[in-house]
Amino acid sequence: MSTISTSTPYRTTNLLPALWQRLWGTNRLLALSVVLYFALFAGTLVASIVDTRLVTGAPVWFKPMKFAISAMLYCGTLVWMLGFVHGRRWLVRLIGGATTVALFVEIAIIVFQAARGVRSHFNFTTPLDGTLFSIMGSFIIVIWTMNLLAAVLLLRQRLPDAALAWSLRLGLLITFVGAGTGYFMVRPTPDQLAGLQSGQPPTFIGAHSVGVEDSGPGLPFTGWSTEGGDVRVAHFVGFHALQALPLIGLLVNRRWQHKLSQRRRAALVWTAGLGYLGLVLLLLWQALRGQPLVAPDATTLLALAGLVVGVLVTAVAIIRD
């Protein structure tokens, strides 16, 4: 294992050019993907204005737009993280190349299905729809595996700053868990399972929502159900731990670098990471109980309060120790 300095070369007066140089030097495919998905976001934004078709009650181009934003953030953050890995360049190239290809195929299918005006996810209406969704599922596993491999590399990489190091590692690991919540969306619903058992040809297998149809009322843009549970909430929060945890690590260092030891700053990051993971699991639990995000019951609120209090008490104890 090698040791690298955390004196980041992109902290200069020309922040964006230096940051781009760092990303480009780490992995060109992932860096180019950031530009590609920004362009796709702009394109879908225009398309959503001129194309008024709806799919499952939402503007047809909203799904490609959301995936473009998510992919842009994912590729940009992942390539920045991989810049901290030294001495294993072939593995960095593998992660960058496999992630780039898998994400491209995934989003290309989403865009293709949107152009056709049909659902991209859970759709088995025709052999083509079923094949495309199956391909998407296969490439999601590739992205998931590369995420775990990146986490393993950073777990083995020695970094002088423990708080930053653990924010990167925990961000990747919690993202791995968050992506894994997709399992609960691809399972047949009770109605779908009954149809399959009776020998009826499937039209859709899987759903975002629990207890209600996917096409029901939802929050603006996200479409998260306001009448039943929605696994996408936990999936979204978990998937974006990739950005949230490193940001927390940077903020902890900025606020307490000269006041707390490395060990205590790392403990703060661990506290935040475990709290974040607890939130992901709480949101998943809420969704699987068929409960909308906007209408939590007393049990959910009590669990959330316990989580928040536990994190705050632990953080205060670490700071004041």
> Does residue 268 carry a pLDDT above 50?
yes
> For position 13, what pLDDT does the model report?
53
Residue with tokens 């703060």: 268
Every domain of the chain and the residues it spans: 10-158
Cβ–Cβ under 8 Å, residues 190 and 213:
no
Pick from 320, 128, 148, 167: which is nearest to 251 by CA? Answer: 167
Cβ–Cβ under 8 Å, residues 269 and 252:
yes
204: left (phi over 0), alpha (psi -120 to 50) or beta: beta
Q: How confident is the model at residue 39 (pLDDT cuts 50, 70, 90)?
A: very high
Report pLDDT digits (tens) over 74-109. Answer: 999 999 999 999 988 999 999 999 999 999 999 999
CATH of 10-158, picked from 3.40.1130, 1.20.120, 2.70.98, 1.20.1440, is 1.20.120
> For position 2, what pLDDT does the model report?
39
> Does residue 203 carry a pLDDT above 50?
yes
pTM metric for this prediction = 0.93
Query: CA 250, 255, 259 angle in degrees (round to 5)?
Result: 120
